Amino acid sequence: MAKPIMAKATAVWLVDNTTISFKQIADFVGMHELEVQGIADGDVAQGVKGFDPIANNQLTQEEIDEAQASPLHKLSLKFNAAAQGEEKRRGPRYTPLSKRQDRPASILWLVKFHPELSDGQISKLVGTTKPTIQAIRERTHWNISNIQPIDPVALGLCKQSELDAAVQKAAAKKAADGEVMSDDERRKLVSTEQSLGMDAEPKIPTAIEGLETFTLSGTDADDEDEDDASKGDYSDADSFFSLPDGGADDDEDDAKG
């Protein structure tokens, strides 16, 4: 239930100018009944000037008369169309002037790391226009060479919960369309809470990078055994200086010739 503006001052005026019960006034202004009784006794809201709800378009005289006639009647605010507020405006959100220069960097970040997001979703997240998003996607933006991708959450352009919701919605739409997601795309769908709770992946030192598949398991020993077998047994001089069969005869034939 909506409450009147300047509730305590309104209660002071109703206590001073009407015979409405403390319970009715308390329910109307959102205070405790004993607090309203304290206003009547002068113990509460001393020095507070009464605020006329009739003159300020919050109550009608007929409503007050009905409440005075029936202790069970509940006061209700007068309907005021101007106080209801205008309908929510559609379109990109408002971005403060101090942060508008950061929007291209956030758009580039979203396009690079979350390509599944539509232009409309990016537009709502960072408060930009679709032509700007398209120019950054196609790298035709006038300042594209100087733009560095920066997380829009870090820039304060949107909340992490809003970004997570947009990514999950885009993933659901992609799944409904029958498109298969890659492993990298699935990793991007992890929520902030889950990603913060994950263990950090071990990093390989730069000095040995590229050698992670190298192994020493038994290969050297096997090679040495094979080499020893091929070399043969040279434990005595005869075996070391042994010549092939028929070698002496060949030498004598060469000498005669």
Q: What is the pLDDT of residues 94-143, one digit of tens each?
A: 666 666 788 899 999 999 999 889 999 998 898 888 999 999 999 999 99
| Intervals of the chain under pLDDT 50 | 83, 85-88, 195, 200-201, 221, 229, 257
pLDDT at residue 234 in the model: 53
Six-digit token string for 253:
């034939």
pLDDT at residue 84 in the model: 52
How many CA atoms, within 13 angstroms, populate the side-chain half-sphere of residue 30?
10
pLDDT at residue 87 in the model: 46
pLDDT at residue 96 in the model: 63
Q: Percentage of residues in the chain with pLDDT exceeding 70?
A: 60
pLDDT at residue 111 in the model: 92
pTM, two decimal places: 0.39
pLDDT at residue 174 in the model: 80
pLDDT at residue 133 in the model: 92
